[in-house]
Structure 1
């Protein structure tokens, strides 16, 4: 069996949902909806929107979680809980945070009405060094980065420019296909 390269599984940038950095969360929803409509229905749907600057360079992404966190401004007051969340959050702690920070207290339609005013650049995730993989790399490198970084996707580069997205769901699907044809 040949070595699978990242470019064999990536979603090309041209097929991905992209918005400018001055777009609003409302624009993110529309872009994601349009990308889903155009996307190959035999594959899993998109779960994020890429953000580009005015020159067309990808500078970040907005995931489904980023959008939800962006709608409720109280999360910004809580700070970084990533270390705590890896060990699990008990229900009492979650309830205390909801009460202490008045999270999701307004009706959902009122909260969602903020989407036209919240700028993507204010809530987007800016990728870090370990979130990039070269399109010519073999899949093992991509898998390692996804697993060790606990990421849902990696940005794929060619000559230092982002050309696509390697999604965990596509990697998982490919690994499952290979497992099924392996001789045990």
Structure 2
């Protein structure tokens, strides 16, 4: 397994359902439901929903958590402050700011009406460097990002383009297979 490359365990982007970054939040909800239905029925090997731009390039993925954050986008402003070293905000201060901004205080029906007007391209987060590996990288780099970032999947690049996804479930399956194939101690 030491010589294995990321490309050996990655899944090409063609295997994943996709949605345009111009789609609405409601369209994303419907696409996520369909992806989950196909996965549960065994007709699809995964339920990760990739997001593509005007040129057809994958620019990210969307999850149920992204949908919830898309309904209340003000969280991003507070969470960004928490990670800026010069602010050194304690978690209690961040919680206080959330309460002052009345996050999730509006009726849910009002939030839901946003679902047909908000485009997922307005809130989807682009993959960060700790969420990407290169197809030719050795697997130890992917192991590192899975453990440190606690990601369930990583984007795989060739050059500047995302060409696949490596899922932790596939990596874990390979690890356990390798462990079972180890010779028993004498």
Distance in 2 separating the partners of 1:83 and 1:178: 41
103 and 163 in structure 1: CA distance in 2 versus 1, 3 angstrom threshold = same
Distance in 2 separating the partners of 1:93 and 1:129: 25
SS in 2 for 1:156: strand
Listed one character per residue, the Cα deviations across residues 59-108 of structure 1 (whole Å, up to 9, x for unaligned) are 23333333221111332442512469xx9946x963x3442111112333
Aligned to 2:23: 23
Q: TM-score, normalised by structure 2?
A: 0.74
Given that residues 78 and 98 in structure 2 are in contact (C-alpha distance below 8 angstroms), is that contact kept between their aligned partners in structure 1? no
Aligned to 2:115: 115
Q: TM-score, normalised by structure 1?
A: 0.75
Aligned residues: 179
Q: Which has the larger Rg?
A: 2
1:113 CA drift (Å): 2.8
103 and 150 in structure 1: CA distance in 2 versus 1, 3 angstrom threshold = same
SS in 2 for 1:23: coil
Please list every run of 5 or more consecutive structure 1 residues that lacks an aligned counterpart in the other structure: none
Distance in 2 separating the partners of 1:181 and 1:78: 48
SS in 2 for 1:127: coil
Counterparts of 1:131-150 in structure 2, within 5 Å, are 131-150=131-150
2:103 corresponds to 1:106: no
Please list every run of 5 or more consecutive structure 2 residues that lacks an aligned counterpart in the other structure: none
- The more displaced of 165-174 and 15-24 is 165-174
Listed one character per residue, the Cα deviations across residues 121-168 of structure 1 (whole Å, up to 9, x for unaligned) are 111111233433233333222112333444332211235432211123
Q: CA RMSD in A?
A: 3.3
Listed one character per residue, the Cα deviations across residues 34-81 of structure 1 (whole Å, up to 9, x for unaligned) are 2233348499853x5322111111123333333221111332442512
Distance in 1 separating the partners of 2:167 and 2:159: 20
Aligned to 1:127: 127
